Amino acid sequence: MGEKAKGFFVTGDPLIYGADVSIIITLLGILIFLTYFKKWGWLWREWLTTVDHKKIGIMYLVSSLLMLFRGGVDALLMRMQLAMPNTHFLQSQHYNEIFTTHGTIMILFMAMPFMFALFNIVIPLQIGARDVAYPFLNAMSFWLFFFGALLFNLSFVIGGSPDAGWLSYPPLSELAGSPGPGQNFYIWGIQISGIGSLATGINFLVTILKMRAPGMKLMQMPLFTWSVLSSCITIIFAFPVLTVTLALLFVDRFFGAHIFTATGGGNPMMYVNLIWMWGHPEVYIVVLPAFGIYSEIVSTFSKKKIFGYKSMVFSMMIISVLGYFTWVHHFFTMGAGADVNTFFAITTMAIGIPTGVKIFNWLFTMFRGRITMTQPMLWTLAFIPCFLVGGATGVMLAAAPADYQYHNSYFLIAHFHQTLIGGVVFGYLAGLYYWWPKMFGFKLNDRIGKWAFWTWNIGFYVCFMPQYALGFMGMTRRVYTYGWDMGWAPYNMVSTVGAFLMGIGFVFQVWQILYSIKHGERDLTGDPWNGRTLEWSILSPAPHYNFAHLPAVKSDDAWWDMKNHRYGAAVQDNIKEYTPIHMPKNSGIPFLMSACWFVAGFGLTFEWIWMGVAGLAGVGICLLARSFQRNTDYYIPVDEIKRTEASLGRVV
Amino acid sequence: MSKRFSSGRLWRVAVLAAGLLVFLSGCDRRYLIFNPSGPVAEKELHLIILSAVLCAVVVIPVLGLLIFIIYRYRDKPGNKAPYTPEWNDSKILEFVWWGVPIIIIGILGVYTAKTTYSLVRPPVEDVKPITIQVTSLDWKWLFQYPDQKIATVNYVEIPAGVPVQFHLTSDQMMNSFWVPELGGQEYTMPGMAMRLWLQADQPGTYYGSGANFTGKGFAHMKFKVVAKPQARFNHWAKQVKKTAPVLTEAKYQQLVQKGLAEKQTYSSYPEKLFLDTIDRNGGKYMKPGMKHGGHDMSMMDNDNE
């Protein structure tokens, strides 16, 4: 116990002390701000207890951008260490911690919440609904994610970060390989936020299936909605696997079981299989919604209907199913045998087919259209070549015997960054620029945005193209240093320069947001891009209840159809009498219950059983309290709707 | 005019790509994977090139098409290109872009399967192969030569022109054994013996490293593979037998401790060391099939998958 207390605060590294100081200053700053401006009540009523999907979306967005910053700083630290051979900037241990947290944060605490931000902000508006199917659960999901991420991030100042790689293969992640609390932070941070992810998957599946505006058939749904549907189906099947896997790992570590340790009759290969049964579908979970975003944007800014709608839907559904049959390609080199390797090589190549088809459909949406180069469109156009090359290197990796040469090399690193940045990040950023006016009522500045776009993009290629070459030169991932003898130095230097360019791109974006809050072009119409789907039929930002009247949908591209083909009828719909709107009440329980989960996770991380039990008891009490709550909903009276609509500038 | 623009661009890209490939494949020794020094690496390189070419067949025209479309259909006043806002379906086009990738994947799939199966057999059938047992430790490599009964640490000598079957295991963390110029890698896992065929055609010194992260000293887990003509290899083995110290059980326990190590050479090792390592790490719980015949070494040579 004494030794544990000694290791409680991470000591000995000036970088960490710097972080300690800045964390304390930031926290103090926030506390003083809230107290001085008497904002505590506002924070509680408007944000901490909200069940409004739009506000939850914004909280997801802010968290994910913060996590992008942290994961990005991790990346830059790694690139600084690797810029030159034999650098002593980071010690091996510190480097190992940083690449572990970089990967975990970027996938689970950056990509996932960024994606959920867009789900939350867009989906109810796009299908003409007033909230998600389970608003309380939605708030629960966010706070579970938030406290899970908090727990994970705490590890670098308290207890020490995990250092066994972002997927933590045993035996390295077992007690013998990683004795400290770092690995427990990893397990509990992911477990707690993972419950939230699973709940979000269920929530949006039900929302899309049950809450669509009257008349909207499945095959009339916008493609972003389809992509979210396919992503949610994948979440529902994949995340339980992750939860079980990490639970078993914890059983190994906490109770001394041998599920994944060969020495006691277990098998680490079992873990590797299980984690990738979640891990591979996971990359499709994050990329499918990006495909949906591109589809919306390409169609809007080509002023043309999306090409091959059915083909698009079909290919996304194939991807979400086929995504379950490719996991072994992450360990072709584990000696599963020629039969198994051949099977998974071919399924992996096959998944490239529907993905490729989507690219052709986007191209032919633009073909004979009229393309305007707005910011969302720029990111979409940058995505196509980037993802095309990333996909091609993916097919190359799928050829199992070729993979024996690429596995764990920088070729692999370059490949997955190209698909995850070029596919996922570019997609979410495109979506961010596209739906920003809908969230906040103003556009993001164009000029600064173009600077951000070009530094990001040039930076990307400068950073990752040399890494393909490094892979061919035999450089393996996760080495904290290398010598002059291999000729890797110049390529690494170039790669580091590229990483910093991308960092500058991010700084431009932060500046762009701050600048646009003051000077951004206001969106008074609610339809700044001449959009095609229902979210553009209401004003920006959307009122609390979204739609004063639920829209009546008659075709695909519902809003386009209303604007251009049946304007009179749509206006008729809108001048009907208002009726009171049924809405869910705010609740503090999601926040409190997730905080209890945090306490439980923290206790179990340090194996302080009393604290774990207390936290779990708190969770139980919150569940009980919720089940006795009867008064959970209310009606917005007609007067208030009239007032709101009038104040938003809509003529009643 | 725009047509010429796009096809010109296309040609430039193609020439550039071809030039790059030539540059990569021959001129520069640093590109280990483009300098195969044995039949295994050669087969893998052929597959790499085939897959790259097949991908390029799709990627390059699509990039050209993308540039053409962006240029031709940009929203500028006076753009005379056709505009068909409602056109959203074409059975023929859909057929083409579902069909062509299926054919390409079909071709690549066949070659992938062939290569995958061929790599589990010895690279050449008419030369008697030798066996070398590899154990990854934290953070060093131990090589045992069951035919010569000698052992080395952090370097391995092999006869050139002779297929080598590496039996791979680990006495701690899971690593991966990779010698890029001779061929692709295979994991070393506790409690199992994996098998990997490699062969060096010419005498030479080749770079090898661990490829799967094992903690603090992982970056330093590099080793040299020294290929010599058979006669000189035999001579070297004899010298070692005569002059080098003995790898005792106690000495092995020192090697197992976490830490780095210099190159070492031993004239003998505890007889059952490799099998004991496997058993101690969980091999005793594995079915013989799972251990890949770890106990019965005679099985290993004729029972390849």
- Edge-to-edge, what's the strand order for the sheet holding B140-145? B194-198, B164-170, B130-137, B140-145, B150-153, B264-266
Q: Is A428 a residue whose pLDDT tops 50? A: yes
B61 with B26, same domain: the answer is yes
Please tell me the predicted confidence (pLDDT) of residue A96: 96
Position B199 in a domain: yes
Position A16 in a domain: yes
Position A377 in a domain: no
Whole-number percent of chain A with pLDDT over 70: 97
Q: Whose CA is closest to A467, among A406, A520, A551?
A: A406
pLDDT in tens, A164-187: 999 999 999 999 899 989 999 999
Please tell me the predicted confidence (pLDDT) of residue B207: 97
Least confident of A560-574, B27-41, B239-253: A560-574
Give the number of other CB atoms < 10 A from CB of residue B142.
27
How far is A192 from A492, CA to CA, in rounded Å? 37
- CATH number of the domain to which B231 belongs: 2.60.40.420
> Which of the residue ranges A77-86, A264-273, A549-558 has the most confident prediction, judged by mean pLDDT?
A77-86
Please tell me the predicted confidence (pLDDT) of residue B19: 60
pLDDT in tens, B95-106: 999 999 999 999
How far is A455 from A512, CA to CA, in rounded Å? 13
Give the number of other CB atoms < 10 A from CB of residue A311.
20
Position B305 in a domain: no
Q: How confident is the model at residue A12 (pLDDT cuts 50, 70, 90)?
A: confident
Chain B contacts in chain A segment 340-359 (CB below 8 A): 341-342, 345-346, 349-350, 352-353, 356-357, 359
Domain with A26 in it: 10-47
ipTM, interface predicted TM-score of the complex: 0.92
Length of chain B: 305
B100 with B66, same domain: the answer is yes
To 10 degrees, the CA torsion angle through A390, A392, A395, A397? -60
Mean pLDDT of chain B: 88
B25 with B95, same domain: the answer is yes
Mean pLDDT of chain A: 93
Chains A, B: CB pairs < 8 Å: 279
Please tell me the predicted confidence (pLDDT) of residue A573: 66
Position B125 in a domain: no
Which residue of A359, A370, A479 is in closest CB contact with B83? A370
pLDDT in tens, A306-323: 999 999 999 999 999 999
How far is A200 from A184, CA to CA, in rounded Å? 24
- Tokens at A11, concatenated: 């000591």
CB A444 within 8 A of CB A374: no
Contacts of A393 in chain B (CB under 8 A): 55
Q: How confident is the model at residue A459 (pLDDT cuts 50, 70, 90)?
A: very high
Position A21 in a domain: yes
Q: Whose CA is closest to B223, among B182, B165, B280?
A: B182
Position B273 in a domain: yes
Domain with B223 in it: 130-300
Please tell me the predicted confidence (pLDDT) of residue B1: 38
Best of B20, B46, B173, B214 to substitute, by most chain A Cβ atoms within 10 angstroms, is B173
- Residues in CB range of A561: below 8 A, 6 or more apart: A554, A555
Please tell me the predicted confidence (pLDDT) of residue A577: 84
Position B257 in a domain: yes
Position A451 in a domain: no
Q: Is B21 a residue whose pLDDT tops 90? A: no
Mean pLDDT along residues B201-215: 96
Instruction: Give the DSSP H or E segment for B52.
Output: helix B39-72
What does DSSP say about strands B130-137 and B164-170: parallel, antiparallel, or unpaired?
A: parallel
Please tell me the predicted confidence (pLDDT) of residue A26: 84
Please tell me the predicted confidence (pLDDT) of residue B292: 59
Q: Cα-flanking dihedrals φ and ψ of residue A495, to 5°?
A: -60, -40
Q: How confident is the model at residue A66 (pLDDT cuts 50, 70, 90)?
A: very high
Contacts of A169 in chain B (CB under 8 A): 174, 212
pLDDT in tens, A472-515: 999 999 999 999 999 999 999 999 999 999 999 999 999 999 99
B54 with B173, same domain: the answer is no
Please tell me the predicted confidence (pLDDT) of residue A497: 98
The alpha carbon of residue B107 is apart from the nearest alpha carbon of chain A, in Å, by 11
Chain B contacts in chain A segment 168-207 (CB below 8 A): 169, 171-172, 177
Q: Which residue of A has its CA nearest to B87?
A: A305
Residue whose structure tokens are 């090792």: B269
Position B123 in a domain: no
Q: How confident is the model at residue A1 (pLDDT cuts 50, 70, 90)?
A: very low
- Residues in CB range of B153: below 8 A, 6 or more apart: B140, B141, B142, B143, B255, B261, B262, B263, B264, B265, B266
pLDDT in tens, A567-582: 776 666 667 788 999 9
Position A19 in a domain: yes
How far is B278 from B295, CA to CA, in rounded Å? 9
Contacts of B120 in chain A (CB under 8 A): 337-338
Q: What domain count does chain B have? A: 2
Position B156 in a domain: yes
Contacts of B101 in chain A (CB under 8 A): 352-353, 356-357
Please tell me the predicted confidence (pLDDT) of residue B7: 52
Using the Cα atoms of residue B59, residue B65, residue B71 and residue B75 in order, give the sign of their dihedral. Answer: negative
- Tokens at A443, concatenated: 């556009």
Does the beta-carbon distance from A486 to B207 stay under 8 Å? yes
Give the number of other CB atoms < 10 A from CB of residue A363.
19
B174 with B283, same domain: the answer is yes
The alpha carbon of residue A484 is apart from the nearest alpha carbon of chain B, in Å, by 12
Does the beta-carbon distance from A372 to B75 stay under 8 Å? yes
Q: What domain count does chain A have? A: 1
pLDDT in tens, A127-156: 999 999 999 999 999 999 999 999 999 998
Position A22 in a domain: yes
Q: b/e map of A559-593 (b: 16 or more CB within 10 Å)? A: bbbbbeeeeeebeeebeeebeebebbebbebbbbb
Which residue of B51, B98, B214 is in closest CB contact with A399? B51
Q: Cα-flanking dihedrals φ and ψ of residue A27, to 5°?
A: -60, -45
Amino acid at residue number B14: A
DSSP helix/strand/coil, A160: coil
Q: Is B6 on the interface with A (CB under 8 A)?
A: no
Position A199 in a domain: no
Q: Is B298 a residue whose pLDDT tops 60? A: no
Chain A contacts in chain B segment 17-76 (CB below 8 A): 24, 30-34, 41, 43-45, 47-48, 51-52, 54-56, 58-59, 62-63, 65-66, 69-70, 73-75
Q: State how far the alpha carbon of A123 is from the alpha carbons of A130, A131, A208, A443, B242, in Å.
A: 10, 9, 8, 20, 77
B19 with B112, same domain: the answer is yes
Q: How confident is the model at residue B15 (pLDDT cuts 50, 70, 90)?
A: low
Contacts of B180 in chain A (CB under 8 A): 405, 474
**Residue A12 φ/ψ region, left for φ over 0, alpha for ψ in the -120 to 50 degree band, beta for the rest:** left
Q: What is the DSSP letter of A442?
A: B
Please tell me the predicted confidence (pLDDT) of residue A354: 95
B136 with B265, same domain: the answer is yes
CB A492 within 8 A of CB A417: no
Please tell me the predicted confidence (pLDDT) of residue B305: 34
Does the beta-carbon distance from A408 to B215 stay under 8 Å? no
B95 with B144, same domain: the answer is no
Q: How confident is the model at residue A262 (pLDDT cuts 50, 70, 90)?
A: confident
B224 with B290, same domain: the answer is yes
pLDDT in tens, A341-365: 999 999 999 999 999 999 999 999 9
CA geometry: angle A199, A42, A201, nearest 5 deg = 10
Please tell me the predicted confidence (pLDDT) of residue A625: 95
Please tell me the predicted confidence (pLDDT) of residue A545: 94
Mean pLDDT along residues B247-257: 96
DSSP code string of A267-292 = -HHHHHHHHHHHHHHHHHHHHHHHHH
Position A113 in a domain: no
B97 with B215, same domain: the answer is no
Q: Is A557 on the interface with B (CB under 8 A)?
A: no
Mean pLDDT along residues A45-59: 96
How far is A482 from A470, CA to CA, in rounded Å? 12
Position B7 in a domain: yes
Q: How confident is the model at residue B2 (pLDDT cuts 50, 70, 90)?
A: very low
B50 with B144, same domain: the answer is no
B135 with B97, same domain: the answer is no
